[in-house]
Structure 1
C-alpha cells in the first residue's frame, strides 16, 4: 500500500477502507495551524487515526482533541480525572459492555462527533480494538435498500450513563436516522449501534425486528473493518459519526486508559 507523505510526518493507511497511523507528530508539543489543518483532513479521510507513543497527560490529551473538535463535558460522568474534568478514566479487567459493536453518545442529539483514548496499561496478549466504516457499509447496500433506509430511524435509551455501564430501566428515548450525511464530507453512511431498542419509521414493527439483525451483521462485516493493538502511551481518535467500534474481550489482567469526547 502506498504511504502518503505529508512533511514533516507520514500518514500510513492501515487498510483500504479506514484507519491510519500518523508517524512523526508529537502531540504533547502541540502542532502549528498548517499541521492541524492537514491532520483534520486526514481524520475525515481515514476516520480512525492512531498516534503511537505519545504519553499524553490529561491536559495534553484535551489539547490533542481540540485539533479536531471541542471536547465535550459529559453531564453525569462519575469517572472524571482529578486533573481535568474533560478526561474520564477507565480501569478494566475486561472490556465489559464495550465488547459489542457500538457508537458513543446515542443518548443525545447529535451524538458525540468523536471519541479518543490514551492507553496507560495494556494486556500482554489481546485487547485489540476494531472499527467498522459505516459509510462503506452504506455503499455496500443496493440502491433500493438505501432508499428504504432513508425513512427509517433507530430508537435508543436517552439515559446518558455515568461510566459504570449500569443502566436503569428505559424511561425516555431518542431517535436517530439510520442514514446520516456527514457534516464535513457530505458522504452518506449508516448510523446504528447494537444498543438500539428498535427501528421505526416507514416500516412495521415486524419489519424493523427483521431488519435490525441484518443491518448489525452487514455493518460489522470484515470487509469494512480495521483493528489496532496497543502499547502504553498510544493515542487514538476516531470519527464517532462515521464508524462504530468493538473492544475485543480476549485478554486477562488490567486495561487502563483515559477518554476524551469531542462534540
Structure 2
C-alpha cells in the first residue's frame, strides 16, 4: 500500500483508484473538528474507508457516521435494542448480500453512506468487494456517455421489500434513477446501476436488455475493484453514490455478524461541527 501522511491521521491507500485504511484515529473517543474535516476529505478522495479494530458500541457507531452524514432512520429495518439507528445482521438468519448492489434504491435520493461494524467473521473468507463506478464511467466512450445521459434504470420502490426476511411481494411501486449520476459533493460523474434493476427507460426493451447487461458487466470488472477482509471490531464506511459492493459468499455456513448504520445528506446546508 502507498502511505500518505495527513496530520493527525494516516491514509494507507488500498489501490490506485480508490479505497483506503485509516490509522491514527480512535473513533471510540471524541473527534476534534480538524480531524473530522480531514476524515471527510479522505472519504471524498477514497470513497471506501476502513478503520481496523475500533470495536465501536452502537452509540459510537452512530457518532462516527455523524461525522460524515446524517444517520438515517430506516422505515423497515430491524433495529438494535441499544440504538434505533443501528441495524443488526446475522447472515445465518438474514441471508447474504452476494450480488453487486447499491443500498437504498427504493429511495430518491439514495443513501449517501453505508457503514458496518463487524462483530463475528468467518475464520477464512467472507471478504467484501467494492467497485469504483466513477472510474467505470470514465472509461466509457464519449458517444456511449452521451447516450446514457438520457437513460434511467427502474427499481422496486417498496421499502417493505428491503426488510430482513421480506418475501418481496410485488406492489407495483417503482423508483427510477438515472444511470449516470453527478455526485452532489464532488461534481464527478459516475455510473449508477445495480443488479436489481428491472429495466431501462429511454430506449427500447431490446436495447435496454443489451445495455443493462453490458453496464453490469463493465462496472463489475476487476479493473475497478478493491477487496477487504475482516476481523472483529473493524469498521468500514463507503460512498453509496460512487461505488457498489459485493459480499463474497465463500465461507459456507460460517458466522458473519455485523451492525449497519446508514447516512443520508443533511436536508439543510452543510454538516454542523461534530464532537469537540
> TM-score band, normalised by the shorter chain?
over 0.9
Query: Secondary structure at the residue paired with 1:74?
Result: coil
Equivalent pair of 1:107/1:157 in contact (CA under 8 Å): yes
Q: Distance in 1 between matches of 2:107 and 2:184?
A: 17
Task: Name the residue aligned to 2:107.
Answer: 108
Task: Name the residue aligned to 2:22.
Answer: 22
Task: Name the residue aligned to 1:227.
Answer: 227
Equivalent pair of 2:116/2:237 in contact (CA under 8 Å): yes
Give 4+ residue runs of structure 1 displaced > 6 Å after superposition: none
Task: Name the residue aligned to 1:183.
Answer: 184
Is residue 164 of structure 2 the alignment partner of residue 163 of structure 1?
A: yes
Equivalent pair of 2:133/2:244 in contact (CA under 8 Å): yes
Task: Name the residue aligned to 1:55.
Answer: 55
Question: Mapping of 1:166-245 within 5 angstroms?
Answer: 166-201=167-202, 203-245=203-245
- Per-residue CA deviation, residues 184-220 of structure 1 (Å, 9 max, x unaligned), is 110000000100010011x111100111110000000
Shift of 1:94: 8.5
Query: Secondary structure at the residue paired with 1:260?
Result: strand
Q: Distance in 2 between matches of 1:51 and 1:8?
A: 15
Shift of 1:232: 0.1
Task: Name the residue aligned to 2:271.
Answer: none
Equivalent pair of 2:2/2:14 in contact (CA under 8 Å): no
Q: What is the RMSD computed on CA atoms of the aligned residues?
A: 1.2
Task: Name the residue aligned to 1:146.
Answer: 145
Q: Distance in 1 between matches of 2:79 and 2:93?
A: 20
Query: Secondary structure at the residue paired with 1:44?
Result: helix
Stretches of structure 1 that go unaligned for 5 or more consecutive residues are none
Task: Name the residue aligned to 2:43.
Answer: 43
* TM-score for both structures, normalised by structure 1: 0.97
Shift of 1:96: 3.8
Is residue 65 of structure 2 the alignment partner of residue 65 of structure 1?
A: yes
Q: Distance in 1 between matches of 2:166 and 2:195?
A: 14
Query: Secondary structure at the residue paired with 1:145?
Result: helix
Query: Secondary structure at the residue paired with 1:37?
Result: helix
Q: Distance in 2 between matches of 1:179 and 1:95?
A: 31
Task: Name the residue aligned to 1:9.
Answer: 9
Equivalent pair of 1:117/1:236 in contact (CA under 8 Å): yes
Query: Secondary structure at the residue paired with 2:262?
Result: strand
Equivalent pair of 1:11/1:20 in contact (CA under 8 Å): yes
Query: Secondary structure at the residue paired with 2:213?
Result: helix
Residue-pair matches, total: 261
Structure 1 residues 41 and 52: CA distance shift in structure 2, 3 A: same
Q: Distance in 2 between matches of 1:230 and 1:152?
A: 37
Equivalent pair of 2:96/2:249 in contact (CA under 8 Å): no
Q: Distance in 2 between matches of 1:226 and 1:259?
A: 20
